[in-house]
Amino acid sequence: MAKYLHGVRIQENPTSIPTPVSNEAGVPVIFGTAPVNTVSDPAGAVNKLFLCNSFAEAKAAVGYSDDYENYTLCQAMDAFFKAFGVGPIVICNVLDPKVHKATYTETLTVVDGQAVSTKKGVLLDGLKVGALTEGTDYTAEFNDDGYLVITVIKEAQASLEVSGNVIDPSKVSEATIIGSLDVDTGVETGMELIRKVYPTFGLVPSLLLAPGWSHKPTVGNALASKCLNINGKFRCECVVDIDTNRAAKYTDVEQIKKESGFSSEHMVCVWPKVKYGGKTMYYSAIYAALATYTDYSNGNVPNLSPSNKACRIGATVVEDGTEINLDSDQGAELNAVGVVTAINEGSWKSWGNNTAAYPGTTDPKDRWICCRRFFSWWGNSFITTYSDKVDDPTNTRLIESIVDSENVRGNALVSQGKCAGIKMEYRQDDNPKANLLNGKIVFRQYLAPYTPAEDILNILEYDPSMIETELGGNQ
């Protein structure tokens, strides 16, 4: 019988999360683990891409837990939707409840007709509650903290013997995150699913990340390799972490970066970990969200560096929880070896402009993060803009329409101060008759995104003549 109500009551709801703003400069693609046992179809949330425009959509797709260490996707959900309020993102959980699981037994005490488990990750599939029948004798659901709650429908019981399975994130490996393609079945898993982002959602990947995993060299370098030749034509960048267990102080970072083999121009290396909302997360999650929010705030053009912009964290830490407080001079030492960090000068800000390729390369296109991302973005947008021109007649009208359109598009960005210049040319010497007869057209385009003003120097000099003029020069 339902409780009879008489009087004045209140009810508190969880704090609502504002609707995220929408970034259109590409979509971040994130790999990791999630508490899929809490969603309606756990098996259907494995190695599947979910386009999420809000925290609620992400939680409904793969579940959510504050346990960032075991459920690594959740820190990215918080970074994008709570810290910066920006989306959409594509997430992919690789934790398989049919594979990554362990047996579970527990005796629960029933209080006021309910028993709450003390174990996270309980799977409803195969759950046994004594001799009771689900739906007839009891119901089972998860509370907001991810714990199983059993409500006894019929006769009261003092305790319940519960058994079944729990998901076990510790059984997920680096190979699981990287994924594979089964040539016999055609089934793709893990990072192999990057190929499906554009065909599925019509969106081009902008940043790849796997917080909680990318500090492992095999995973970080796999992300970098996946940045190139996506669908045979697109490219993007990735954000990877430097291992804060191996690099417990900033002077260790250069060596660990070298040992990890992190040197791609399409890679952004970050160090150390950060704290958000009192919880420790990998910096790659926050940095990627910051970069995406910076793009959104700049008209969805990724020409601005995320460096020296507020990263909305409370502290920087290493693996054992020790807080790290770098000054700008120490931060510059990390920048000098191609690593982005965070410093606190009045507020916490991202600090660093160099890709992982620096100092191995000084080519501005590949050295500066903002220039590298601009080139990738412009190239991807060219492909998506003119894909409908493929197979049109190879005539003057086609050539002029592409050249004129690109120059107009480039001039618009120049007028907005987002680059120094963009120019496209069609040259006859690049297009011999044989190529044209074979349906091939070549254009040349020159891009000049601005480099960041990383070093601003003001030379001060004492001028004694000013003293002479002031005190006695007119007498």
pLDDT, position 133: 86
Q: What is the DSSP string of 316-340?
A: EE-TT--B----HHHHHHHHTTT-B
- Domain contains 421: yes
Question: Is there a single domain that holds both residue 229 and residue 305?
Answer: yes
Question: Is there a single domain that holds both residue 291 and residue 433?
Answer: no
pLDDT, position 201: 96
- Give the end of a domain, one of 117, 149, 167: 167
pLDDT, position 468: 85
Specify the higher pLDDT residue, 234 or 473. Answer: 234
Could you read off the pLDDT of 309-343 as tens digits, one per residue?
999 999 999 999 999 999 999 999 999 999 999 99
Question: Is there a single domain that holds both residue 70 and residue 160?
Answer: no
Determine contact, residues 19/80, Cβ cutoff 8 Å.
Answer: no
State residue 85 phi and psi, 5-degree precision. 60, 50
Scanning 205-327, the segments in alpha helix (DSSP H) are: 217-226, 253-260, 283-297
Question: Is there a single domain that holds both residue 181 and residue 242?
Answer: yes
- Domain contains 386: no
Question: Is there a single domain that holds both residue 72 and residue 128?
Answer: no
- Domain contains 383: no
Q: Is the pLDDT of residue 40 over 80?
A: yes
Question: Is there a single domain that holds both residue 189 and residue 152?
Answer: no
Q: Is the pLDDT of residue 474 over 60?
A: no
What global pTM score does this model have? 0.92
pLDDT, position 258: 98
- Domain contains 372: no
Could you read off the pLDDT of 418-468 as tens digits, one per residue?
999 999 999 999 999 999 999 999 999 999 999 999 999 999 999 999 988
Question: Is there a single domain that holds both residue 438 and residue 467?
Answer: yes
Q: Is the pLDDT of residue 167 over 70?
A: yes
pLDDT bin (cut points 50, 70, 90) of residue 359 is very high
- Domain contains 369: no
pLDDT bin (cut points 50, 70, 90) of residue 15 is low
Domains of the chain: total? 3
Question: Is there a single domain that holds both residue 232 and residue 329?
Answer: yes
How many Å from the N-terminal Cα to the C-terminal Cα in the chain? 104
Could you read off the pLDDT of 417-427 as tens digits, one per residue?
999 999 999 99
Question: Is there a single domain that holds both residue 78 and residue 222?
Answer: yes
Question: Is there a single domain that holds both residue 90 and residue 136?
Answer: no
Return the H-helix or E-strand segment holding 269. strand 267-270
Question: Is there a single domain that holds both residue 159 and residue 199?
Answer: no
Tokens of 329: 């001079």
pLDDT, position 8: 73
pLDDT, position 212: 97
How far apart CA 295 and CA 426 sit, in angstroms, is 31
pLDDT bin (cut points 50, 70, 90) of residue 105 is very high
| Domain with 113 in it | 101-167
Tokens of 144: 């907001």
- Give the end of a domain, one of 133, 152, 167: 167
- Domain contains 9: no
Question: Is there a single domain that holds both residue 311 and residue 229?
Answer: yes
pLDDT, position 472: 76
- Give the end of a domain, one of 147, 167, 187: 167
How far apart CA 475 and CA 469 sit, in angstroms, is 9
Nearest Cα to 301, choosing from 86, 23, 80, 76? 23
- Domain contains 8: no
- Domain contains 219: yes
User: HSE-up of 91 (CA within 13 Å, CB side)?
Assistant: 35
How far apart CA 297 and CA 357 sit, in angstroms, is 27
